[in-house]
Amino acid sequence: MKNGRGNRVAVVGTGFVGASYAFALMNQGIADEIVLIDANENKAEGDAMDFNHGKVFAPKPADIWHGDYDDCRDADLVVICAGANQKPGETRLDLVDKNIAIFRSIVESVMASGFQGLFLVATNPVDILTYATWKFSGLPQERVIGSGTILDTARFRFLLGDYFAVAPTNVHAYIIGEHGDTELPVWSQADIGGVPIRKLVESKGEEAQKELERIFVNVRDAAYQIIEKKGATYYGIAMGLARVTRAILHHENAILTVSAYLDGPYGERDVYIGVPAVINRNGIREVIEIELDEEEKKWFHRSAATLKGVLARYFAQ
């Protein structure tokens, strides 16, 4: 199907997240070719038909079709959105047993095609499954990326912007660690227009500090709230995945909070975890090690330890 026009993205799993991601790619004109792969071939075919009917409205029409793992051979990027969804009351880590086996099959099928590109993982628990993708694929660590805390960071910036009445694009703040219950806000480095957020709340008193704590809790628990209301989260993460895809395909060297492999930075080794990293056509160019205060360091190590505890059940550490 490939006609040599340019970048190909293969989307594995066309459920809520995968279909929303493909829709974001099409609307933003990021990819030249989009192939949809799903165990439910009718669903993938129906999505491809639906997208093609809207081609005339796209800023840069892409070739889009439903295919199979053989189409991954010429893909620049394979994005995995397949797997069991998080149900009300479940944590992301509850999904490990269900999704590890699914991922082994998917990754081995992709690699059997002769794939030589990059993996981007969206399925939860994303840090665990990104590590699994790295192990199952045998690819270099920099060519396997997880969506990490990119959405958590976006939520954080939105809520802080809303509180301080400034555009979220002018809020510079990160959520790092596990994409899950042990993630942490890096308050020590958060600023708005160059002014530290901690300084901004000094004059506002104790209630302002409590409001910042509530903002973080709402960031951390956002998925639970959305799942309770509508059953799943997909638009926000789809846009985050599109942002990472653009950074990769356009060789942007953009800094995004993705799940990256650590082998020394932040005092951690042999774990994929959400941290700021420079992303380009080759994958993760480097991890950015921002300075954490002592409490943040302890919190980050606890988060990494939580992930390592899960990984130890499936992989020799």
Residue 297 pLDDT exceeds 50:
yes
pLDDT confidence of 84, banded at 50, 70, 90?
confident
Q: Is 71 labeled as ligand-binding?
A: no
Percent of the chain with pLDDT over 90: 88
- The sign of the CA dihedral 171, 177, 180, 181 is negative
Residue 280 has pLDDT above 80, yes or no: yes
pLDDT of residue 32: 97
Among 2-16, 151-165, 189-203, 245-259, which is the least confidently predicted range? 2-16
Which residues are annotated as catalytic?
Answer: 179
Residue 69, marked binder: yes
Q: What is the pLDDT of residue 92?
A: 65
- Give the orientation angle of helix 235-249 with respect to helix 16-28, to 10 degrees: 50
Nearest to 35 by CA among 6, 7, 71: 71
Q: Domains in the chain, start-ordered, CATH in brackets?
A: 6-144 (3.40.50.720), 148-310 (3.90.110.10)
Which is higher by pLDDT, 284 or 224? 284
At 311, is the pLDDT very low, low, confident or very high (cuts 50, 70, 90)? very high
Give yes or no for residue 55 having a pLDDT over 90.
yes
Answer yes or no: is 149 a known binding residue.
Answer: no
Q: Is the pLDDT of residue 48 over 70?
A: yes
1-22 per-position pLDDT tens digit: 445 558 999 999 999 999 999 9
155 CB-near residues (< 8 Å, 6+ apart): 175, 218, 219, 222, 236
- Model pLDDT, residue 2: 47
| Residue 182 marked as a ligand binder | no
241 — pLDDT class (breaks 50, 70, 90) = very high
90-117 mean pLDDT: 90
Which pLDDT score, from 0 to 100, does residue 87 have? 74
pLDDT digits (tens, 9 = 90+) for 118-160: 999 999 999 999 999 999 999 999 999 999 999 999 999 999 9
- Token pair of 210, please? 């409590």
Q: Reply yes or no on whether the pLDDT at 107 is more than 50.
A: yes
Q: What is the pLDDT of residue 88?
A: 74
Give the dihedral sign, CA 212/214/218/220. Answer: positive
Q: What is the Cα Rg of the chain in Å?
A: 19
Q: Can you give the pTM of this predicted structure?
A: 0.95
Check the annotation: does 157 bind a ligand.
Answer: yes
73 is in an annotated binding site: no
Of 56-70, 193-207, 210-224, 228-242, the one with minimum mean pLDDT is: 193-207
pLDDT (mean) for 158-176: 97
Q: What is the pLDDT of residue 149?
A: 98
Rounded Cα distance, 138 and 33, in Å: 25
Element (DSSP H or E) covering residue 21: helix 16-28
Query: 253 has which bridge partners?
Result: none
Which of the four pLDDT bands, split at 50, 70 and 90, describes residue 95? Answer: confident
Q: Write down the pLDDT at residue 1.
A: 45
Residue 127, annotated as binding a ligand: yes
Residue 187 has pLDDT above 50, yes or no: yes
- pLDDT at res. 5: 59
Distance CA 140, CA 121 (A): 15
